[in-house]
Structure 1
Amino acid sequence: MFERMNRLWAARRRRLQNISSEAATTRPETDLIPQVEETLAVQERVLGHDHHDTNETRRRLADAYCSAHRWDAAIPVLEQVLAYRERFSGHDDLDELETNGVRNRLAGVYRSAGRLDAARSMLERVLECRERILGPNLRPTVGTRRELAEMYLSAGRFGEAIALFEQNLAHDDQPYEEIHHDRCCLAAAYEAAGRWEEAIALFEEILSYREQLVGHDNPFARAARDDLARVYRSAGRFDEAVTLSDQQRRGPSSSTPQ
């Protein structure tokens, strides 16, 4: 009797897995939502809510909702996926990083849904895990720190944003375009916090870099010049602001005495 039950159980599991695998190879993810929802309902009834296969289908359903930009539908499903992994996954570094990947995905979905407080809280957990396991300088850690700093900056939490951007810039082994991005964001954070001299020093570096890279009259260089002139004015350095604005109008020859 037990042998027969085991055969039936194995056959049912294969059927449930085949439904998902066949659908995945023949139809776009967003078209699969009703089918994956049905598969999940069957698995929850037959295998139970806490079975590994059930959670994998739950993850696929969350992916399908995200592909359809159905953020409010994806969030509770991803929250269940995360809760399962936090309860049942192992505690070695690889397991923790995989669970942390779900947290990172959930943070992105919170952000897409406009739930910015929840996104920031989840990103803080992601960053803590990556710093602890990967260290402070690997690109996944640096990227998460950058994303969290940008969210702090958007929320007006300038001190926290500045601390994270400064931490990123303390390590110069990142690709230079990422360093330049962090430098621009840090300059904006200094400006927003009223730390004029620090903002000026960074905006001067940004302008110099862009002029060397793309030339004096390129739109990116002109934008950097406008930024620097604006911060000069905010800091009360009006003569320098006027000189820079004159250079902007007259072009590259104005920076060289005649």
Structure 2
Amino acid sequence: MSLHMVAAIYCRLGQFDEAIPVLERSIEVVEGRNEPDHALAKYSGYMQLGDTYSMLGQLDRSISCYEAGLMIQTHALTDSDPKVAETCRYLAEAHVQAMQFEEAKKYCKKTLDIHKQHSPPASPQEATDRRLMALICEALGDSESALEHLVLASMAMIAHGHDAEVAAIDVSIGNIYATLCRFDEAIFAYQKALTIFNSTKGDSHLSVASLFIRLAELYNRTGKTREAKSYADNALRIYLKPPEGSTDEEVSSGLVEIAAVYEAGNEAEEAFGVLQRAVKVVERGGGGRVAAGIEAQMGVMFYMMGKYGEARRVFERAIGRVRGGKKGALFGVVLNQMGLACVQLYKIEEAVRVFQEARVVLVEHYGVYHSDTLAVSSNLAAAYDAMGRVEEAIEILEDILKVREEMLGTANPEVDEERRRLQELLKEAGRPRNKKAKSLHNLLASQSLRMKKQVATKIWSGGFSSRA
């Protein structure tokens, strides 16, 4: 056991790599010994080793260690012992983390079966495991089973007076109903949770604000914009004066969600104001990349409103925030959006430069066959055509057409559009051209330049995305 203590010290110091050989040695020491104490020591070694691998992000090794621990435990006890249920829960959670939901379901079901044998009906432990099973079922697309487990979990928590847990379960129930477009039931579940949070956490808690946002989103989806704005206003009131202990990330994320509600309700000016506040919150914490993502979202809004000059300036500022650091694929997507804004401002030479850079970034991260790479390549070809660089445009369009025919087939509408554009250029390439104005008009009207908007909760580092 002293080796376990040494390993624990290493882990507390964050030195996980040093802890691993110590734990492996602790397992070797008791290998081949069958006394109960030795079996317990070996089980503990495997479980601690699994935890250590998990901290290092090595989930496959972590799961293997937990499975080895489970085998030892079931051999020393029985496969229906309550302690075995705890290990099965460990394995279920590990498989969820590894996105292996079928395996997770198997172990979670084993845990629930053991509860039936040894725990009183509707115990808090069973409720906790039913919430885990609901998460797994939802991930597997079985929403009805997920709802069943959540309802049973809620009933158990109500019986034991765990109001905070009941509210959290009601939120999960509301989320599933919202996904199923059962809006009235979703609103009822959220309202139940809101009542409990108001009484247990206070009316200025971020949990209350989060539910205001969820209700606002639902009312927007059902066309009740007045109710949606009212709930969004209530949420904003809390986020403008967040309770002590709130993190900048929580506040900025909430503000971004509120802005999305205002935008969906055609309250663009209020949405911009909220996003500007979100940027200030992020800047206060030094989150330049997140601030860039929020500004990129603002740029898309400006673009959709036809305010192309403002869109270009905001995109340029967002790009500048991260240009000197690590750039992911989303950097290329936002470059593409800036290029679209430049096109609308008739700044074609600048658009070409931006599209070229976007194409390089997307090829590096996605490859030449990805839909985003093909979209920006199509934009670059159209921009070349607008500048009179027809041969370069033809070369790109020929490559795009070949890829799209292979991927989508020759009868696909997108393939027809690319073929039509290529045929027009080929027809014009053999004679002098003076049709820049016409080409630019085609560029602005082209379907390939229509900006689509998709706003997510975590921006730039993993959330905002739009495609040309």
% identity of equivalent residues: 14
Q: How far off is 1:41 after superposition?
A: 3.6
Counterpart check, 1:72 vs 2:56:
no
Aligned residue for 2:124? 139
TM-score (norm 2): 0.42
Higher relative contact order (CA 8 A, sep 6+): 1
1:83 to 71, 90, 102: 71
Conserved? CA contact 2:215–2:231, under 8 Å: no
Alignment of 1:37-116 (within 5 A): 37-41=24-28, 43-44=30-31, 46-47=32-33, 52=36, 53-54=38-39, 56-69=41-54, 70-90=58-78, 96-116=81-101
Distance (whole Å) between structure 1 residues aligned to residue 162 and residue 39 of structure 2: 40
1:198 to 153, 169, 185: 185
Task: Report SS of the residue matched to 2:81.
Answer: helix
Aligned residue for 1:15? none
Task: Report SS of the residue matched to 1:170.
Answer: helix
Distance (whole Å) between structure 2 residues aligned to residue 86 and residue 175 of structure 1: 32
Letter in 1 for 2:227: T
Change (3 A) 1:120 1:247: closer
Distance (whole Å) between structure 1 residues aligned to residue 189 and residue 60 of structure 2: 40
Conserved? CA contact 1:63–1:74, under 8 Å: no
Q: After superposition, what is the alpha-carbon deviation per residue over 1:160-217, rounded to whole angstroms, capped at 9, x for unaligned? A: 11001111222412411101000100111111122222112122333444455533x6
| Greater Rg over alpha carbons, structure | 2
Change (3 A) 1:201 1:146: same
Aligned residue for 1:166? 151
2:2 to 11, 22, 29: 22
Letter in 1 for 2:64: P
Aligned residue for 2:226? 242
Task: Report SS of the residue matched to 2:208.
Answer: helix
Aligned residue for 1:4? none
Conserved? CA contact 2:137–2:146, under 8 Å: yes
Distance (whole Å) between structure 2 residues aligned to residue 201 and residue 36 of structure 1: 50
Higher helix share: 1
TM-score (norm 1): 0.71
Change (3 A) 1:23 1:192: same
Conserved? CA contact 1:136–1:142, under 8 Å: no
Distance (whole Å) between structure 2 residues aligned to residue 128 and residue 202 of structure 1: 28
Counterpart check, 1:183 vs 2:163:
no
Q: How far off is 1:128 after superposition?
A: 1.8
Task: Report SS of the residue matched to 2:122.
Answer: coil
Q: After superposition, what is the alpha-carbon deviation per residue over 1:86-105, rounded to whole angstroms, capped at 9, x for unaligned? A: 344247xxx71122222122
Conserved? CA contact 1:229–1:242, under 8 Å: no
Distance (whole Å) between structure 2 residues aligned to residue 248 and residue 71 of structure 1: 40
Conserved? CA contact 1:58–1:81, under 8 Å: yes
Change (3 A) 1:227 1:68: same
Aligned length: 222
Q: After superposition, what is the alpha-carbon deviation per residue over 1:35-87, rounded to whole angstroms, capped at 9, x for unaligned? A: 4423534543x53xx66425632431331341242432232232233223334
Change (3 A) 1:224 1:101: closer
Q: How far off is 1:242 after superposition?
A: 1.8
Change (3 A) 1:152 1:23: same
Task: Report SS of the residue matched to 1:194.
Answer: coil
Distance (whole Å) between structure 1 residues aligned to residue 205 and residue 113 of structure 2: 40
2:106 to 121, 127, 135: 121
Change (3 A) 1:55 1:207: closer
1:153 to 120, 131, 138: 138
Q: How far off is 1:126 after superposition?
A: 0.6
Distance (whole Å) between structure 1 residues aligned to residue 231 and residue 24 of structure 2: 62
Distance (whole Å) between structure 2 residues aligned to residue 144 and residue 132 of structure 1: 15
> Relative to structure 2, which stretch is displaced further, 104-113 or 173-182?
104-113
Distance (whole Å) between structure 1 residues aligned to residue 3 and residue 28 of structure 2: 16
Conserved? CA contact 1:59–1:81, under 8 Å: yes
Conserved? CA contact 2:85–2:114, under 8 Å: yes
Counterpart check, 1:229 vs 2:216:
yes
Distance (whole Å) between structure 2 residues aligned to residue 40 and residue 218 of structure 1: 47
Change (3 A) 1:66 1:130: same
